[in-house]
Structure formats: C-alpha cells, structure tokens
Amino acid sequence: MLKECAQHGYFRAETCPVCGQPGRFLMNDRELDHLGRILTGILRHFPDRYQLEIDPRGWIALPQIVRAIGQKHPAYHWLRTQHLVAITETDPKGRYEVRDDRIRATYAHTVEVDLDLPTDHIPDLLYYPVTEEELPIVLEVGLKPSDRKKVHLSKTAADAHGAGSVRTPAPVILEVDAARARGDGIVIMRAGKTVFLVDRVPPEYLRRTEYTAPAGTPAADTD
C-alpha cells in the first residue's frame, strides 16, 4: 500500500514509519505493483508501446507518461504525476530518478541511452555473480554486457548472490577491484542503491571469492 504522510512524505505501509499516523491513501498493493511494472517497461524497454520517446539521457516528462498510461489503461484515469513521484521516492532499490518534471530509470535498460549518473563514492570492491560454467570464460575475457546495455555490479557479495540466484541456485561470486579499475581509467557509475554500472570489466580486475550465502537466503528481485 502506498500512502502519504503530511509531515514525513510517501511510504509503503499501513502507517507512517516515523510518526505512526495512517496517512493519506494513494494506491493499493495491486495498483502499486502494476504501475511499477508499467513504469519500468516504459523507462527501460518499450516506450514506443506508449507512443513515448526517451531522450538520450533516459528522461521522459512525467506529464507525458501520466497521459500515456491513462490513455492505454483507462482504469488509471485518476493517475497524477505525484503518484509516479511517490513510487519513485519509496522504491526500495532506487530504480528511478526524478528531476524537475522528468523521470528516468537508473539501470537495466535494453533501449539505447547514454546515462550521466554519478561516478563518486564508488566502493573499492564490487561483486558480480556467474555460474560455474561461465566462470573460466569470464576470468579469461572479463565481464561484458549481455541482455542489457551495461554490466551491473553489486554493492555487496550478498547482493550479488541474491541477483545470481535468479539464474542458478549456487552462483559463484566474483570480486571486482573497483578501486584499481577506476585508477586505470574505467568509469563506474552509481545507479540504484546497490547497483553500479560499467561498460565492461577486463579480467585483471576479477577474482573468485569463497562467499557462501546463509541457508535459506531467498533469490533477489533483480528488476
């Protein structure tokens, strides 16, 4: 459930996590999930299905998205820009960015964009999951994008394990020497709260770790 507290802003819960007040209702869980999927699809994969265009940096005007969603999904005739801002500000992974009256996805694009994300405050070490079958190839040639436009690195080994568990029950976690890579001129960008983007990672910056996830650790939502 998505609500708004007059004092503390948007939140996803029954009551405001700061003051405990019930807040103003914005949308239920089903609407939140569906609109989140629509927003992700528009900003990352298929803006053309909604007759929208992404600018070279990945931005679309919020009023245009609201209008396009309302036209394609009449049940959302009540949708306003504040609802999309609320989805963005409460997203647990930081998938989106709002600036002025524009919005964009911060990672996982399959459409061509040239993101100008921050390159400061990058951890010295980052992580990436591979399968046992992929391991020798990756250690030989490095990391390159597959179904996305960038390589997506994780902030922690646990984050990488969660992402990799979607594909294989026991992913191998690679450690990326981000500090040395950046020192050698490789640009790494901050995207979501636990996601970092890079064009490619040569093999000399990669090392297998012996990370083992705690028993019962669930696979992560990699969207």
**pLDDT one-digit tens code per residue, 125-140:** 999 999 999 999 999 9
**Model confidence over 160-203: pLDDT tens digits?**
999 998 888 889 999 999 999 999 999 999 998 899 999 999 99
CA distance 11 to 86: 8
Which amino acid is residue 11, in one-letter code?
Answer: F
The pLDDT value given to residue 216:
58
Q: What does the pLDDT read at residue 39?
A: 97
What the chain holds in terms of domains, given with CATH numbers, is 2-105 (1.10.10.970), 125-208 (3.20.170.30)
Residue 32 tokens read as: 């939140």
pLDDT score, position 80: 97
Phi-psi region of 21 (alpha: psi -120 to 50; beta: other; left: phi over 0): beta
∠ Cα 26 101 119 (to 5°) = 105
Residue 214 predicted with pLDDT over 80:
no
For all residues of the chain together, what is the average pLDDT? 93
Please say whether the beta carbons of 89 and 9 come within 8 A: yes
Beta strands of the chain (E only): which ranges?
A: 2-5, 9-12, 24-27, 60-61, 96-99, 102-105, 125-130, 151-154, 172-177, 188-190, 195-198, 206-208
Distance in Å from the first CA to the final CA of the chain? 19
Q: Residue 171's pLDDT is what?
A: 93
Give tens-digit pLDDT for 40-93: 999 999 999 999 999 999 999 999 999 999 999 999 999 999 999 999 999 988
